Structure 1
């Protein structure tokens, strides 16, 4: 089965095509241009798929809350305007006459790690990704735990600090307002206005900037507090961390140390692991939707 897979994010759309054995034989990345809105993104996706007529199935990993059974966007925030309600599965199946599966991007990334990556040896684990916000997925008995309405795993909106910073969800004090990469860069700019992204921050720290290291150290503690709470609730054997900032060994090391400081001794065997596939985990998860379900 040849599968066309796409991972739609706020910044880029990652695309791959597999051969009959599920091996990726082609990969490319294009700008999402998300501010143009959902209809524009969908048209771009259709145009790209049209370039690959000899495919047997389509898999889509996408930002937003997803009804995976019916393949539509339940809710998407202003990062992708006018995306809520987009019926991806119906429209692509009608246009291309192949079977289509759709999954939330963080759920897809968790599946990518489960079937191809560091989650392979675990039946249960939590997956968190750190970027613009914080996304989460729950794997129990080697399956995604979706919750009552299919949207379980909104870890970024745990109430971290009552009456804290306003969040885009309309609430205050959400975890992602303190533990996301966006939150890290916001605090770093207060110390050094020239620091505009996580990669640059880490380079400056490696260059000896002690003030930025203090910001980073405080941020890893915020991250660890949230993870510790989840460990006490779910008691997983491991927690897998994704997102660009977590591709750095220093990030994983500090977060892991602080998590183990915050959890009870009876949970001390839990492992904090780095995502094997980084920002391609969603693509591998999309492929798995047809290979393992």
Structure 2
């Protein structure tokens, strides 16, 4: 039997698409995830049709138990200003992909497509670490760096829907080559990939300070991962802590640049790399304060960890889909009285 009456007409599904997985959840208007599904996409996922089929499959399974009104999709890539097409996805083969319309036809439901970082940021503003704050910059540290901007309580997507690609700001001219084709991008210095690269180079150089790390992988640098570095750092390994300090320093450099551009009240740091907490955020705050334009003569934005973890993308995508639905008279009246919050 479908679960419906208890939640009225408020249920939507949020889908979070990464390079290797599709995660989906049924979400209430209060941000509660009632049911979840996650599937790993096979190597052939680089085919747009395979990912589309996977989305349809997980949404259809969730709809067997829950009656929902709309679907929101958070996609790791450039999404156009109409929130309909994925223009470019670096880890998938989507190019000018009309994902919204294709899914809407197959599912028979309204669909909204949004950049995954925007979806995560929206969730943090509505129900997470940035709740009650109107001017926020969210930075997600994963394989790369994603970002989003919330100004005056609304997502700032840019004229063409592409704002927030902070990871590809140049911080070191002529620096490390980035997957985007440029050199010296921020994500080459403060992301999970950067952390892994630096750790592997340290072990490959047979540095004595990396002995614990070398033993952990049996001397094979290719077995080093970002989570392993974080785990050893938590256990007190000096080399791994220094690697995180370096990444945190680069994180702070980028935040200072973003503060000069947007002057937010709050920075929210999410993504898998941020789960190490103060080992990363402490050095980031120090570098941020040191690099801040006009330091000592201006308010300094707070830098905090995200609160919603891996579910932020699906929660935010689900709420953005709900927001795009036609609004009834009572909802419009509520908004006239003041911005609705969870």
Matched, 1:17 2:26: yes
Q: TM-score, normalised by structure 1?
A: 0.93
After TM superposition, the structure 1 = structure 2 runs for residues 100-249 of structure 1, keeping only pairs within 5 Å, are 100-192=111-203, 194=217, 196-249=224-277
- Indicate the structure (1 or 2) with the bigger Cα radius of gyration: 2
CA contact (8 A) 1:124 1:142 kept: yes
After TM superposition, the structure 1 = structure 2 runs for residues 24-35 of structure 1, keeping only pairs within 5 Å, are 24-33=33-42, 35=44
Take 1:164 and 1:191, find their aligned partners in 2: how far apart are those partners? 18
Take 1:221 and 1:72, find their aligned partners in 2: how far apart are those partners? 36
CA contact (8 A) 1:60 1:102 kept: yes
SS at the partner of 2:96?
A: coil
TM-aligned CA distance change 1:288 to 1:267, over 3 Å: farther
SS at the partner of 1:266?
A: coil
Distance apart, 1:268 and its partner CA: 4.6
Take 1:161 and 1:256, find their aligned partners in 2: how far apart are those partners? 20
* Consecutive unaligned residues in structure 1, runs of 5 or more: none
CA contact (8 A) 1:260 1:268 kept: no
Structure 2 counterpart of 1:85? 96
Take 1:21 and 1:160, find their aligned partners in 2: how far apart are those partners? 39
CA contact (8 A) 1:109 1:284 kept: yes
Distance apart, 1:70 and its partner CA: 4.7
Take 1:107 and 1:245, find their aligned partners in 2: how far apart are those partners? 18
Q: TM-score, normalised by structure 2?
A: 0.80
Matched, 1:272 2:303: yes
CA contact (8 A) 1:35 1:80 kept: no
Take 2:32 and 2:250, find their aligned partners in 1: how far apart are those partners? 38
After TM superposition, the structure 1 = structure 2 runs for residues 45-56 of structure 1, keeping only pairs within 5 Å, are 45-51=55-61, 52-53=63-64, 54-56=67-69
Take 2:123 and 2:141, find their aligned partners in 1: how far apart are those partners? 17
TM-aligned CA distance change 1:190 to 1:89, over 3 Å: same
Distance apart, 1:21 and its partner CA: 6.2
Distance apart, 1:269 and its partner CA: 2.8
CA contact (8 A) 1:113 1:275 kept: yes
Matched, 1:73 2:80: no
TM-aligned CA distance change 1:265 to 1:22, over 3 Å: closer
CA contact (8 A) 2:16 2:75 kept: yes
SS at the partner of 1:85?
A: strand
Take 1:171 and 1:20, find their aligned partners in 2: how far apart are those partners? 41
* Cα deviations by residue, 1:75-128 (Å, 9 ceiling, x for unpaired): 112x212x2222121112212221111110000011011111111111111011
SS at the partner of 2:72?
A: strand
Structure 2 counterpart of 1:282? 313
Residues 263-272 or 172-181, more deviating: 263-272
TM-aligned CA distance change 1:43 to 1:161, over 3 Å: same
Distance apart, 1:42 and its partner CA: 0.8
Matched, 1:261 2:290: yes
SS at the partner of 1:50?
A: helix
Take 2:97 and 2:239, find their aligned partners in 1: how far apart are those partners? 45
CA contact (8 A) 1:116 1:284 kept: no
